[in-house]
Amino acid sequence: MDNQKQSPISKLLKRMDSSPGFAGLGSSVRLISRLTEAEDGGTRELTETILCDAALTGKLLRISNSSRNARGGRNITTIDQAIVILGLNTVKSVALSLSMLDALSNKPQSKQLHAEIVAAYFCSSLAYEITRIKGSRYNTQEAQVCGLMQNIGRIMATYYLYDEIERSRSIQAEKNLTEEEAVAETLGMTYEDISVAIALHWNLPDLLQQCLAPKIGNVPPRGVASALAWHQYCSLFSRRITDALFRLPENREKIEINREIDFFRSALQLKDDETSEWIEKALDDTNYLLEGLTFPCDVEQARNLLRKASERVMDLLSSQDSLTQDNNKVEGKTPVEIIQQSLRQIHDTLSFDRTLLCVPDGSSGLRAIIGIGRNAVQITAKFRCQGPKPDIFRLVMSKKMDMFVVDTKAPNLAPVIPPWYSELVGARSFLLMSLVSDGQFLGMVYGDYAEFHPKSPQELNQESIRESRECLKKALQSAKPKT
């Protein structure tokens, strides 16, 4: 790595070495990744390691005795029996992941990290499944560990460099970058760089190190010449599918998955329907494993949370729109740049699933012009309030007020919740914040929660929210958007 990259990675590694929570993780990874399925000595060593950890022992016995694994009512009471019932791959995956989980309590970013571990579980399950079926001559344990460790750089950066990662979110909103682009600009390195540095620092097996950032290029690989090539292709494919499922907007998910299947089709012998079945099985297996661990996050929760962290601000403004013009700059930024940053601040602070900015449309209509969150592009393009029949959005606009709708399914709201909203968006709870200056309605911030949210956000009166609303007003005042 060049000198520019030395500073943040040195800071990260130093913190890792001094942390009580993660101090032993490197040795645990080395130990478990080197144990082979076939060697009895490896099984004995693993059993002894597990028995040193009471919490891990209890978790594995609970999973072994669950209804899914119970055989003829047999009670599993030893780790040796648990290994037979669950298989070495599952036992090792659980052991590695719990080593990470143990260090996450009482951290402000713990929810984010829990979600990252869920994604790692899925990645390892998918890599295992593909290798089991299409690469049976290769080691499925190695495939699973390579999959599990694919996002170790992301996990460690979120844990140890949380302030820097949070700063990257501001850059992401300000410049409308992807999450990866913003992190690279903030830290001077990518998550792949961090993963490779950690693997080298921990002296992990060569195979694992070479699978964390393989240089494959833009040409689809045609064949597999070695075990190393298989594990590189398999783990990278699994990581990209994980990113599509856990980090991309839902409307891009299928497109990206199909693209990755096409790219790795020859190398991994992939078929569309078959691969879709593996993905679904890996999701189911991950959820099942999480249930057995009484994990604080399931697959769906993890996907929703990580999508929020990766989203970009999206808009439907043309280059001719007055909001995008340089001659309307406020404090050195175009109105749309201010709107993007302010909208991201509100979205993150209030933990919305989706946030839109709406402006007046004609004499009595309302339309969305910019959105962030789940299906933002699709929703923004179709979010229109028009016609003679009154709806809740234009009622709030006419009264120039704020309103929190606790439950869109409440019978008393049926007359004012338009049918297009239920079909297009269908959020259970949402907040409307009017942007008013000198009695003039400038626009409205719409933020929703997909699931029932019984209370209005507590952060509404925070200084950051008030500042974001003022910035939105200034941006809208500086240039009248075309209607």
State the SS3 of 302-325.
HHHHHHHHHCCCEECCCCCCHHHC
| Interatomic CA distance for residues 267 and 434, integer angstroms | 54
Task: Quote the CATH superfamily of domain 3-309.
Answer: Hypothetical protein af1432 (1.10.3210.10)
pLDDT of residue 54: 58
| Burial degree of 412 (CB within 10 A; 0-12, 13-18, 19+) | exposed
Token digits of residue 113: 């990290």
Residues making up the chain, counted from first to last: 483
Nearest to 212 by CA among 137, 127, 283, 297: 127
DSSP 115-129: HHHHHHHHHHHHHHH
Instruction: Label residue 338 exposed, middle or buried (CB < 10 Å: 0-12, 13-18, 19+).
Output: buried
CATH architecture of 315-478: 2-Layer Sandwich (3.30)
Q: What angle do CA 94, 95, 101 make, to 5 degrees?
A: 80
Q: How far is CA 265 from the centre of its chain?
A: 25
Domain ranges in the chain are: 3-309, 315-478
* Neighbour tally for 384: CB within 10 Å: 16
pLDDT of 5 reads 44
CA trace torsion 34, 40, 43, 44 (10° rounding): -120
Helices marked H in 202-315 — which ranges? 206-212, 227-246, 250-268, 272-292, 299-310
CA–CA separation, 238 vs 232, rounded Å?
A: 10
- Measuring CA to CA, how many Å separate 57 from each of 141, 235, 325? 20, 28, 62
Is the pTM higher than 0.95?
Answer: no
- CB-count burial class (<10 Å; 0-12, 13-18, 19+) for 296: middle
User: What is the chain's pLDDT, residue by residue, as a tens digit (483 residues)?
Assistant: 444 445 678 888 888 777 655 544 555 555 555 554 444 445 666 666 666 555 566 667 767 776 566 555 556 767 777 777 777 667 766 766 665 555 555 566 778 888 998 998 899 899 999 999 999 899 887 888 788 888 888 988 888 888 888 888 778 767 777 788 888 899 888 899 899 988 888 777 788 889 988 888 888 998 888 999 999 999 999 999 999 999 887 778 899 999 999 999 999 999 999 999 999 999 999 998 788 767 788 999 999 888 877 777 777 776 667 777 767 777 777 888 889 888 988 998 888 989 999 999 988 899 999 998 888 888 998 999 998 899 999 999 999 999 999 999 999 999 999 999 999 999 999 999 999 999 999 999 999 999 899 989 877 778 889 999 999 999 999 866 444
CA 365 to each of CA 226, 358, 377, 473, 482: distance values in angstroms, whole numbers, following the listed order: 63, 10, 20, 19, 13
- CB 253, CB 245: distance < 8 Å: yes
Torsion, Cα 415 418 421 424, to 10 degrees, reads: 120
Smallest CA-to-CA distance from 442 within 482, 476, 394 is with 476
DSSP state of 275: H
Q: Which of 483, 276, 285, 254 is nearest to 375 (CA)?
A: 254
Q: Name the token pair of 66.
A: 């669950």
417 Cα distance to chain centroid? 31
State how far the Cα of 138 lies from the Cα of 134, in Å rounded to an integer.
Answer: 9
Helix (H, G, I), strand (E, B) or coil at 426: coil
